Structure 1
Amino acid sequence: MDDPFTEEIIAFLPNLKRYAISLSRRPDLAEDLVQLTAERAFRNRHSFDPDTKLQAWLLRILRNAWIDMTRRDRTRGTQTPIEDAPWLAGEDGERVAEGRLMLDETRRAMEQISPDQRDVLVLVCIQEVTYQEAADILDIPIGTVMSRLARARKALSKEMGLDGWE
């Protein structure tokens, strides 16, 4: 493939999926979000500024797609997500089971913090974007990113019973 734009998007797809899962909390919906993001990126390729980071541009597209999808879903009525995932259970050993339990506990704790704090936490700590990139993606000042991140970390540690961690 001779197109660097396409290659960069393909290389970044796993990161987009992780962010989409953190927003939607549903793997099937996350795949739809990633597909929509890629489609919008290719359709609006001409508007991409090569002086900016493609990663931040794609994350912003994905976040906007999530907002659009959420607004659209409000008019559809209640949908029941599939909570049972028998494919997660396995006989992979004690460490894998403990890891899954810790991830589940972390997921539940993240659901308890405010969406604004969760967005910043996911972008900076999971997606590893800079504070400035997070500010650009969320369209907020960098100081707000830093304060939300500090509050998110503190709230998450409290929710997980890690009192005293600062």
Structure 2
Amino acid sequence: MDPDNEAAYADYVEQSWPTLVRAAVFLGARPHEAEDLAQTTLVRCYTGWDRVSSADNRDAYVYRMLLNCLRDIRRTRWWKDRQYDVPESVPHRGHDGPDAAERIAVADAVHRALAALSKPNRDVVVLRYFVQLTEKQTAEALGIPPGTVKSRLSRALAHLAANDHLLDLSGGTQ
């Protein structure tokens, strides 16, 4: 790779790393798995940087790569054998008091609510609201029509609005 492309790739990695990891977490990966998925995605970006950098919609192209990496890893025996019923401990980062506990409760409620969605609906919600892709970019990343993105979002948001985990946060009233 020539120095200009190398610099452009390095800038892209620095800019996109946090959102790729966050997207992978909201798509169902644990934090350390999300980092591995983001890294694998970025390695694939590096090997195909000419295609990635020349894509009409680079973000949609890269998030499609992330989804493909996630699908690939979920096909492995390792993923199927992992224990879902053992919660991963939350690392302590020096935050004490009710604010930290509240942040953890909110994060847990959001993860549980997202886990209750079907995979296609969760993918749309994560890419649209957490990654902040446009409807068109989300459609391109998932390989579906924009109208399907809208209908899945509508169903997913209705499901989330009635989710017990999120209702508990709001005091149980709608």
Shorter chain as normaliser: what TM range?
Answer: 0.7 to 0.9
Question: Counterpart of 1:126?
Answer: 130
Shift of 1:118: 0.7
* CA deviation string 1:69-88 (max 9, x = no partner): 111237x7522255241524
Corresponding residue of 1:67: 71
Q: Which runs of 4+ in 1 moved over 6 A?
A: none
Cα distance in 2, alignment partners of residues 149 and 86 from structure 1 = 30
Question: Are 2:58 and 1:58 equivalent residues in the alignment?
Answer: no
Q: Which has the higher contact order (CA 8 A, sep 6+)?
A: 2
- Letter of the 1:35 partner, please give it: Q
C-alpha separation between the residues in 2 aligned to 1:23 and 1:72? 17
Match of 1:158 in 2: 162
**Superposition deviation, residue 49 in structure 1:** 5.1
How many residues were matched structurally? 164
TM-superposed CA distance for 1:5, in Å, is 3.1
Q: Out of 27, 33, 39, which is 1:29 matched to?
A: 33
TM-score by length of 1: 0.86
Pick from 11, 16, 19: which aligns with 2:20? 16
State the alpha-carbon separation in 2 of the partners of residues 89 and 127 from structure 1: 24
Counterpart in 1 of 2:113?
Answer: 109
Match of 1:80 in 2: 83
1:148 aligned onto 2:171:
no
> How far off its partner does 1:12 sit?
0.7
Unpaired segments ≥5 residues, structure 2? none
Give yes or no for the alignment of 1:5 onto 2:17. no
1:98 to 102, 113, 119: 102
2:9 touches 2:46 (CA, 8 Å); kept in 1? no
Return the offset for 1:164.
7.8
SS at 1:12's partner residue?
helix
C-alpha deviation, 1:8, in angstroms? 1.6
Structure-1 separation of matches of 2:50 and 2:37: 21
1:112-139 CA distances to partner (integer Å, 9 max, x unpaired)? 1111111100001100000000000110
Q: CA deviation at 1:53?
A: 3.0
